[in-house]
Structure formats: structure tokens, C-alpha cells
Amino acid sequence: MTDTPVKSPRERYRVQMQAEIKQCAWEQMATDGPSALSLNAIAKNMGLSGPALYRYYASRDELITALIRDSYRSLADILRAARDSGADVTGLAYAAREWALANPQRYFLIYGTPIPGYHAPDDTVAITQEIMAVLIEAFVAQPVDEKATPFDANLEHHRHWAPDNSVPTTTVHRALSFWTRTHGVLSLELAGHFTGMEFDPALLYADELNSLVSL
């Protein structure tokens, strides 16, 4: 077994400062939204000068990228843990909802409105593929007899993002439809669009899952 290298005091301090900066960024976004993220404002709240904070994150975009990676990694880890504990497609969806309700700012950062002027690096795509891979695996375990659609034919030539080319395109289509429609319900719920409608969003989510699994 290879021992984990021991971090120097300076390295530990850097990790601690980066964690504090990210926490301050989440608090700022909860109040003002992701597009209003300001390193200078974060530095002021932490009692730092602007140049001091830039030693930890060279730009706003670098900080946003770190927050996006953390958010995707958190969700991917939750879904993998649910899968490893035996969760089926529905169980994965409930795990995703619990994570979203507990982490609304993280959810909206990765699935909400894109931040103007920000472009995520390509390596974030690899984490999103992990999430889709877990979902596709769950649908492989729940096969159904289904007919191909025109979208399946289109998807067949544009599925480089899918983790396993041996999986039938119809199965990938089911996973993709499941992912987009459950996120639709989640996004509306988290954004408060069900407020005043006097129904339980959890029951709506459950009904949607039942209809999707039977597709």
C-alpha cells in the first residue's frame, strides 16, 4: 500500500483557505445568484485583500470551475453509493432529489441558467458522464421491449458522450428521457414554481417516476 503524502503546513493552510473561499462563495450565491459572484466581495467578507485572495483562485472563472467540479462530484458520489447499495432506477431518482433539496445552490449551479461569459472546461464533462453511466446501468438492469423512434436513429450517430457503446440506443434514450424529465420537476420545485398550488411536490415526483419507469 502506498502511503498518502503528508501535506506541509503551507499546503494544509492553502487547502483550508480554498475551502473557506468556496464556502463564502456559496453563501454569496445563495443571496445574489451565481452570476453575481465576486472575488473582491468574497475577499472583503473574509477580511482579505483582493490580491491575497487571487493567490488561491486566479480568477472568478477558476473559482466557479472548482465549485462546479465539487457539485458534480458530490452528486456522482451520492448516485454511485445508492447504486452500490442496490438502488434501482427509482431509488437513484430519489437519491438525486434528496441531494438537490439539501444542496439547492449546487443544483442550480450545474443544472440552472448558465452564467453569462463563463465556459466550463472540458474535464467537467467526464464527471457528468459518470452520472449518466450510473443511470444507464440501472436501465440496463430493467430491460423492456420497445420500438425505436426517429430520435433513436439520430441518437445512434451522436452518442459519443454515452459510456458504453454496447448498450442499445433505445436504453440510452430511456435513461436520457428519465434524466431530463426528472430534472424538469426538480428544477420547478426548487425554483418555487409550485408555491401556492397546494399539492405535495414529492407525490408529483413519485407519479412522474412511476410513469417514466414504465416507458
The CA distance from 11 to 15, in Å, is 6
The CA distance from 74 to 50, in Å, is 29
Residue 1 pLDDT exceeds 50: no
pLDDT per position as a tens digit, 160-212? 556 566 777 888 888 888 899 999 999 999 999 999 998 899 999 999 888 88
Contact 91, 82 (CB under 8 A): yes
For residues 125-149, one letter each, b for 16 or more C-beta atoms within 10 angstroms of the residue's C-beta and e for the rest, the string is eebebbbbbbbbbbbbeeeeeeeee
Q: For domain 68-213, give the CATH number.
A: 1.10.357.10
The 3-state secondary structure of 25-39, one letter per residue: HHHHHHHHCHHHCCH
For 76, 96, 148, 191, the CA distances from 82, given in Å and listed in that order, are 10, 9, 30, 25
Please state, as a whole number, how many other Cβ atoms lie within 10 Å of the Cβ of residue 199: 8
* pTM recorded for the entire structure: 0.84
Domain spanning 1-58: CATH 1.20.120:
no
Domains of the chain by residue range: 1-58, 68-213
What is the share, in percent, of the chain residues with pLDDT greater than 70?
Answer: 86
pLDDT per position as a tens digit, 39-96? 999 999 999 888 889 999 999 999 999 999 999 999 999 999 999 999 999 999 999 9
The CA distance from 87 to 106, in Å, is 23
